[in-house]
Chains A and B, each alone.
Chain A
Amino acid sequence: MKSDNIIINFNELSSEAFQDDNSDNNDVFKELGVNKDSYLHSKLKFVKKLNIKTKAELNQLKNKQLMEQAIDKVKDIIRNRVESTKEKLSTLINNEYPQFQFRNIDKLEEEDIKEVLNEIDLIEFIEKIEKLDDNANK
């Protein structure tokens, strides 16, 4: 960078020189009053914590999106589809998820759907519903 400020130039060049891969930059850490190894490892620990936190948050978000997608698909079948597709959905839930009991699929509320979907593998469920859709469209 073109600058006639000698202090800025000196600091920028020193920064570049101490960032060089072959450089011994212990002086910099000494100046900062920290032990280089423990300082770098504490920062690595910080990165690892962020990694775990972000992974959990993204999984939660992904699960929420899958849940919304599954609920929309079930609601869509209940509201708009022909009786035969509804029956297939009913059978699918009754057969494959016997822990969830209901009599009339038309009377399922969003909270009921959420309850059943909370217990199951959402990706697998969405795939099965999509197959129902495919079959209905044939």
Chain B
Amino acid sequence: MKRHQQIFEKLSSIPDHEWIEIIDKLTVHVNFKLKGRTIFGAHSEKKLGMKAIDFYIEDAIQKLYEHKWDWQFEKFTLLEQLIRIIDSTISENVRKYKVLQKEKEKAEAKAEIPKSVEFIPTESEKIEWLADKKLIPEEDNSEETLNKFNKILEICSQDDSELEILVLAQQETSDSDEIIKQCGWDKKKLYTLQRKLYRRVRKYAELNNINF
């Protein structure tokens, strides 16, 4: 109760403009964390009951207010703590989803389906079914996909030597400090280049009808 009260006082003393900044950053974080993983599976609207972005942000804030998760304000800023909660909840939901899928598969294997019953699935049921059978992977990290993505990055950076260097650097790491050290840039420059690269990739994907 004492700790809950203490955390509540801290949370309620945060001015509106700070909350707006925090939610802004959380939205970016969740957006990139779940890129391409919200159409079906653990983070789908069907599974979560609302859009993933709304679910994970509201759930994390609620957990702190209700003291279901301790805000270790001695160690983490509010943004850091909320990101930790979100990342953990995302992992936990994936874990639970995988367990459920396994149980579902076992149950299906046991069940006897009468041959006379004809099942005609809708389009969304077909997608769900393919996803369940792992015919559409939740996270497509196949070599083919990675090669395709590499090709896109190559095309989007070919007329800009700095973007080319950036693409090479992120083949091995996402650690911005390491990239800065390797390339001799400052953080501001790295972020500007990364945003430029992202916008080019996005535009390329839109023009070529690629789901990105």
Report yes or no: B57 in contact with A15, Cβ–Cβ below 8 A.
no
A interface, by DSSP: helix, strand, loop or mixed?
helix
Query: Which of B141, B195, B199 counts the most chain A CB atoms within 10 A?
Result: B195
Whether B150 lies near A32 (C-beta < 8 A) is no
Tell which of A9, A22, A41 touches B171, judged by Cβ atoms closer than 8 Å: A9
Closest B residue to A4 by beta carbon equals B172
Inter-chain contact A15/B32, CB cutoff 8 Å: yes
> How many angstroms from the CA of A57 to the CA of B2 in the assembled complex?
13
* Cβ–Cβ contact B173 & A9, under 8 A: yes
A35 vs B130: C-alpha distance in the bound complex, in angstroms? 33
User: Taking the complex as formed, is A118 at the interface, i.e. its CB lies under 8 A from any CB of chain B?
Assistant: no
Residues of B within 8 A of A (CB): 1, 4-5, 8, 11-12, 16, 19-20, 23-25, 27-29, 31-33, 35, 53, 57-58, 61-62, 65-66, 141, 145-146, 149-150, 153, 170-176, 179, 187-188, 190-192, 194-195, 197-199, 201-202
User: Among the listed B5, B149, B197, which residue makes an inter-chain contact with A7, where contact means beta carbons less than 8 Å apart?
Assistant: B149
Query: Interface extent on A, as a size class?
Result: 35 or more
Check A28–B146 contact: CB distance below 8 A.
no
- In contact, B28 and A65 (Cβ under 8 angstroms): no
A40 to B195, CA, bound (A): 22
